[in-house]
Structure 1
Amino acid sequence: MRLVFALSIALTFAVPARAGVEVQEITSPGGIDAWLVEERSIPFVALELRFKGGGSLDAPGKRGATALMTHLLEEGAGDRDARAFARAAEGLAASFKFRISDDNISVSAKFLTENRDEAVALLRDALGNPRFDTDAIERVRAQVLSGIRSDLKDPDAIAGRTFDAMVFGDHPYGSNHDGTEHSVAALTRDDLAAAHRGAIARDRLFISAVGDISADELGQMLDILLGDLPENGAPMAASVTPSFSGGVHVTDFETPQSVVLFGQPGIGLDHPDFFPAYIIDTVLGGSGQESRLMREVREKRGLTYGVYTYTVDKDHADYMAGSVASANDRVAEAIAVIQDEWQKMRDRGITEQELEDAKTYLTGAYPLRFDGNGPIARIMANMQASDMQIDYIANRNDRINAVTLDEVNRVARELLDPKRLTFVVVGQPAGLSN
């Protein structure tokens, strides 16, 4: 109980909110690179690992294998079955979380300094020597299948699945990385072992650590934790050009409220016009209550509780997207307003006041993300996985503030494409059809 209490205190109070963090680049004696923020005030470390590839690594006919494998990493490893592994982590007051996305497997670990060696040994087993016991496979498979079946009745999930299939086709992005009922039911232990070999490898690994650990200590720890992993994993997925045909595409589903996803081609973080595009998105629909779409669709017309836009920067594709939900008899009007605002933004751009408000919103909110060891470690790992430079944290707000009105409005004319703005509607919308 003492250790659990100590960890809860560390999770709550470690590293006050700030963006002025000092990031070190380190290389272990064994050649493993990492980013480190040393914070000695609390005897606690947050460690983040990113293995690039994620669900897009699934072999043909094995959709869902990488996801199921990831869910099983804490279900027994080395000499410990699932229950023994959980007891060992609890006894050390250590926390391990394994997540999967289209592009990454994320590992989040938190542990106290006094238990560091034991916690690292436990995580080392989970990453390098998972058991894939039959009972654990069947238990987790049943959970995944239950989620897949539930999504078949969820209009939000149906919209996401339909949108992805339309935009990305046969590419792995075009289907859910959890797989289908058929594909998941057919997966064998050998399939999971193959997915593990393909995904958990050093050639796709990014690491960050924040807390009570020095550069030398971190290097030695990483060699112990990761030094025996395979050097190379499975080939990465190919790049894909998103297909946005424009117009409105309706999937009939009995519900009083239609769910809508919409999108068009976009640009990624590595594009020289990313920050002007980021401001465009913020003004259009990315700033919550202050955005144009929220004002026009919700406040003026009462068509929805919320409408949002966001930029999507995947490893193999970039696009702009958004979402809204509205009553079946009013969703056509909501879509028409969104289309109109998209056209206005392209033709007229934004005002000087909107630019200043967007800069204030984006730069003021940024330091609030740095509210503890764990969030800082996650931000740094995501930065590395996105090929961002180590000085991004320090200069990000300066780059936003340097954007001019002429730049934003030029990018609005070049980027926004009302003819390719594509809507997927799930529901029974009045006045809309394919």
Structure 2
Amino acid sequence: MSDRRAPRQTFVGAGLFALALSACTLLSAPAHAADAAKPANGLQSLAELDGKAPSRRQLNVQNWKTAEGARVLFVEAHELPMFDLRLTFAAGSSQDAGTEGLATLTNAMLNEGVAGKDVTAIAQGFEGLGADFGNGAYRDMAVASLRSLSAADKRQPALKLFADVVGKPTFPEDSLKRIKNQMLAGFEYDKQNPAKLGANALSSKLYGTHPYAFPSDGNAKSIPGITQAQLRAFHAKAYAAGNAVIALVGDLSRSEAEAIAAQVSAALPKGPALPAPAQPSEPKPGITHIDYASKQTHLMLAELGIDRNDPDWAALSLGNQILGGGAFGTRLMSEVREKRGLTYGVYSSFTPMQVRGPFTINLQTRAELSEGTLKLVQDLLADYLKTGPTQQELDDAKRELAGSFPLSTASNASIVGQLGAIGFYNLPLTWLEDFMQQSQALTVEQVKTAMNKHLAADKLVIVTVGPKVPQKPLPPPTEKPADQPLGVPEH
């Protein structure tokens, strides 16, 4: 759950990822409307690019720590009279400590009440100032964001309200009952959602007893028993200043940014950063089938991937883009949809997190072709690991990355998301440029080596969701499949 209009961690490579966060797979991660800076000399025609990658915004990232220990990352951007503020806490479901759904419920309750204001008054307060509040909770992190006009008469009251909401929520009982009921209704809906059933089973099989194994939203047994006292205790520990990264982008001077960061940090509980979860153990490969009445079968394949600081991330990101991380033209899409018409879409992704996140392949196909389609996908992965990408595939992927890379800094909202992730995962301030340079320098052999280092075709954990029906042989590959395409998403 809980993506209450918060900007997703949009990370180049990861988020050309889901965002992946994503992803109704193993990680949950929507962006605000873009507010691109207006260039001094506008592009009049695509022909002006003349084969070159579009120019991208150069970021001067400033950083410091508040007196309470929060890390701050700041980029001045005076093109628009507004600013974006994003707080990122190590307060995701990996910190639930056995009370599943506690992190999500705590985050969902932030803007339900503060001293003297209920949820309606809080919403009206932000709206009356032209400000926008967002929040969300995921596996690793929880976030709270504010977008506001930068003029002092709007900025200051918006910041005061934001600081109260994030730092001093009251967790009112009536709101707690309402949100619990909403979550319980969601669990009932999930029983009719084969993709959700499969994703939850895949997480469990892949991670066992590790915190990443459990749904971030909790379940119908855990949510009803969570109390106000538990919410307050979790907030005091996980929303502490020492556990926070403050990202700021917008029409602010350094002194104004320092004042904002100090105000927000001082409003938070006092406390240190929380440790990351332990690394997960290797799972046992195998196939789990969930019976579900349908004309189609969901196929979900996974194995443990990498953590966010792995030095092979650039090579893996580009390698996955060629395998199944893009749209049309990937190995998987070409062979499974375009040549055989077996699915509407097939996608692969790495989701690096604080510790080893998942590598996944997802698709759905006609039930009577599910076994053959699954074997085809497994064979395609095995062949790709054996042969690696072609030089042409690598060149095309580099060109595509260079063309889409400017989107990572096209708006203040996208930049503040990047800064939050850089701070949260303790990446270098130059990470965006470093990633681009590393990606463009990669060779075919380096990509192949990295993919084989971290993936193996015989280590897949597989979950299928659909009916048990007699199987039919797959149609042969052709440039014009007779059925085009199968496996249109049902949910």
TM-score by length of 2: 0.82
Distance 1:234 1:23 in 2: 22
* Equivalent residue, structure 1, for 2:81: 43
- Could you tell me which of 448, 463, 479 is aligned with 1:424? 463
* Equivalent residue, structure 1, for 2:365: 326
Deviation of 1:364 after TM superposition, in Å, equals 1.6
Q: Are the counterparts in 1 of residues 303 and 359 from structure 2 also a CA contact under 8 Å?
A: yes
Q: Which moved more, 1:49-58 or 1:263-272?
A: 263-272
- The yes-or-no answer on 1:67 pairing with 2:83 is no
SS at match of 2:249: strand
Q: Deviations over 1:360-415 (max 9, x none)?
A: 12222111232311111011111221221101122321110111122122223333
SS at match of 2:368: coil
Q: Are the counterparts in 1 of residues 205 and 461 from structure 2 also a CA contact under 8 Å?
A: no
Deviation of 1:161 after TM superposition, in Å, equals 0.5
Deviation of 1:212 after TM superposition, in Å, equals 0.8
* Equivalent residue, structure 2, for 1:256: 295
Q: Are the counterparts in 2 of residues 28 and 222 from structure 1 also a CA contact under 8 Å?
A: yes
Q: Are the counterparts in 1 of residues 136 and 144 from structure 2 also a CA contact under 8 Å?
A: yes
* Equivalent residue, structure 1, for 2:37: 15
Matches within 5 A, 1:286-301: 286-301=325-340
Q: Give, as a single letter, the amino acid of the residue that structure 1 aligns with 2:200.
A: R
Distance 1:421 1:200 in 2: 36
Distance 1:242 1:302 in 2: 37
* Equivalent residue, structure 1, for 2:96: 58
Q: Are the counterparts in 2 of residues 32 and 223 from structure 1 also a CA contact under 8 Å?
A: no
Q: Which moved more, 1:404-413 or 1:24-33?
A: 24-33
Distance 1:410 1:225 in 2: 45
Deviation of 1:233 after TM superposition, in Å, equals 5.7
Give me the CA root mean square deviation.
2.0
Greater helix content: 1
Q: Deviations over 1:310-362 (max 9, x none)?
A: 00112122331110111111121221111111111121111111111111122
* Equivalent residue, structure 1, for 2:248: 209
Distance 1:270 1:428 in 2: 40
- Could you tell me which of 346, 355, 375 is aligned with 2:394? 355
* Equivalent residue, structure 2, for 1:34: 72
Matches within 5 A, 1:361-372: 361-372=400-411
- The yes-or-no answer on 1:380 pairing with 2:419 is yes
* Equivalent residue, structure 2, for 1:3: none
SS at match of 1:322: strand
TM-score by length of 1: 0.92
Gaps of 5+ in 2: 1-31, 39-54, 472-491
Distance 1:72 1:232 in 2: 21
Q: Are the counterparts in 2 of residues 168 and 240 from structure 1 also a CA contact under 8 Å?
A: no
Distance 1:21 1:340, change over 3 A: same
Q: Give, as a single letter, the amino acid of the residue that structure 1 aligns with 2:412.
A: N
Q: Give, as a single letter, the amino acid of the residue that structure 2 aligns with 1:317.
A: R
SS at match of 1:103: coil
SS at match of 2:198: helix
SS at match of 2:97: coil
Q: Give, as a single letter, the amino acid of the residue that structure 2 aligns with 1:163.
A: L
SS at match of 1:167: helix
- Could you tell me which of 78, 89, 111 is aligned with 2:115? 78
* Equivalent residue, structure 2, for 1:98: 135
Q: Which moved more, 1:277-286 or 1:305-314?
A: 277-286
Q: Which moved more, 1:305-314 or 1:279-288?
A: 279-288
Gaps of 5+ in 1: 1-9
- Could you tell me which of 144, 153, 156 is aligned with 2:192? 153
